[in-house]
Structure 1
Amino acid sequence: MVQAGILVVRKDELEHKRWSGGITTQLAIWPEGADYGARKFDWRISSAVVEDEESVFTPLPGIHRHLMLLEGGIELTHEGIGSRVMIPLADTEEFEGEWKTKSSGRCVDFNLMTVKGYGGKMESVAANKKIKLPMPQELRCWYGLYAIADGVAAEVEKDGRFARVTLERGDFILITYLPAPGEEISLTLGSDAAVPAVSAAVWQES
């Protein structure tokens, strides 16, 4: 049987900090007691407001990064590798933290960082569509959902039981679960917005 827990964090409970190019909001970090500032963590989910027209990404050796835009537009450039113009809620860029990366333009973004031994992916979540949470044959999984619209009715189904919560823009849900073969956890978002949330899935690789 799938074992799962759901944590709801409201936007006024989240931690905001300034960085060189704007403001970052930490949504979730693992393990308990992890410290992003000291670079002591296994994974981290966050959102950032990029205020400067030109920004240089903080070097993060040994960290694999995923990035998606929520608003605005930037051109992301990895020195010696290539560049890409990012489209909000459509593109996801994966890159290594030790790359020399910079951006041109202003935006609000959504981020996932993982160390070796953890996998992950990010995607936008459509309204009124049943989404099955990833169920890889791994040790432990997490599924973070970040609301980007108001009045989002989130319904989580597991073993025929339902948990329901209403989210406002900036609220965050973290579902922690242990995969079980042949079983599933699903999520449905009721909203007037076509894309009311974005998600970051993380799993500890065996």
Structure 2
Amino acid sequence: MFEKKGNQDYVTRAWSGGQTTEILIAPEDSCLTKRNFDFRLSTATVASKTTEFSDFTGYERFIMSLDAPITLQHQNIMIPLQPFEIYRFDGGTTMQSHGKCQDFNVIFKKKYQVSVTVLQNNETVVLFTKGQSILYALQTIKVEVSALETVAEVLLQKGESLVLKGQKQLHVISQKTSFSRNKVAVLTQIKE
């Protein structure tokens, strides 16, 4: 079972440092500001040179810039990150970010096991057998989704996502021939 999502399904809001787009929140009727969610995936446009991360005590976080170097700062510790370099930290940690970018965020309760992976063109990935997987397209890609004896093909445009449950594996293929080894998607896998 899988579901394709796009801009019409996402929720975009302004925040103090720019704009955030919620790709997925679970359960669906939960709310970021009420802190009653289990996990949330989003992208954000960071328009300020320096921003403070909100306090998400009780949660873990993954952050990754999609387009420009950034530096995270916890007290006097500086953590430089290149684009597509993933960093995990406790949601209650006081953290600043320095640098403008488009980023990818995952926030989740500590009871969950979460994996975030950047996929390259022509890559095949075996999925968690339980839980769910969310594939976020960084460019136009064809996705081959396999479950048991069946294979389905789905075309995702940049910014679209595929929410998968019960599939065995997926294969991503860039639709741009000039980017043969380029990063084409972000795969987030979540299970309890």
Does TM, scored on the shorter chain, surpass 0.5? Answer: yes
Report deviation, 1:143: 0.6
Greater RCO, CA 8 A, separation 6+: 1
**2:83 matched residue in structure 1:** 88
Q: Which amino acid aligns with 1:153?
A: K
Q: Per-residue CA shift, 1:74-121, capped at 9, x if unaligned?
A: 1001125x22111112x2111111111001101111111111311102
Give the 3-state SS of the residue equivalent to 1:131 in structure 2.
strand
**1:200 matched residue in structure 2:** 188
Query: Any conservation in 1 of the 2:10–2:24 contact (CA below 8 Å)?
Result: no
C-alpha distance in structure 1 between counterparts of 2:16 and 2:53, whole Å: 9
Report deviation, 1:39: 0.8
C-alpha distance in structure 2 between counterparts of 1:49 and 1:23, whole Å: 5
Query: Any conservation in 1 of the 2:45–2:102 contact (CA below 8 Å)?
Result: yes
Q: Which amino acid aligns with 1:32?
A: E
**1:146 matched residue in structure 2:** 136
Q: 1:186 aligns with which of 137, 153, 169?
A: 169
Query: Any conservation in 2 of the 1:68–1:122 contact (CA below 8 Å)?
Result: no
- Residues 130-145 of structure 1 mapped to structure 2, 5 A cutoff: 130-135=124-129, 140-145=130-135
Report deviation, 1:55: 0.6
C-alpha distance in structure 2 between counterparts of 1:199 and 1:87, whole Å: 18
Counting matched residue pairs gives 187
Which runs of 5 or more structure 2 residues have no equivalent in the other structure? none
Q: 1:61 aligns with which of 42, 57, 64?
A: 57
Report deviation, 1:129: 1.9
- Residues 1-206 of structure 1 mapped to structure 2, 5 A cutoff: 5-79=1-75, 82-89=77-84, 91-135=85-129, 140-150=130-140, 152-177=141-166, 185-191=168-174, 192=176, 193=179, 194-204=182-192
Q: Which amino acid aligns with 1:99?
A: T
Q: What is the root-mean-square deviation of aligned Cα atoms in Å?
A: 1.4
TM-score, normalised via structure 1 length: 0.86
Query: Any conservation in 2 of the 1:79–1:99 contact (CA below 8 Å)?
Result: no
Which runs of 5 or more structure 1 residues have no equivalent in the other structure? 178-183
C-alpha distance in structure 2 between counterparts of 1:187 and 1:58, whole Å: 34
* Aligned-residue identity in percent: 27
TM-score, normalised via structure 2 length: 0.92
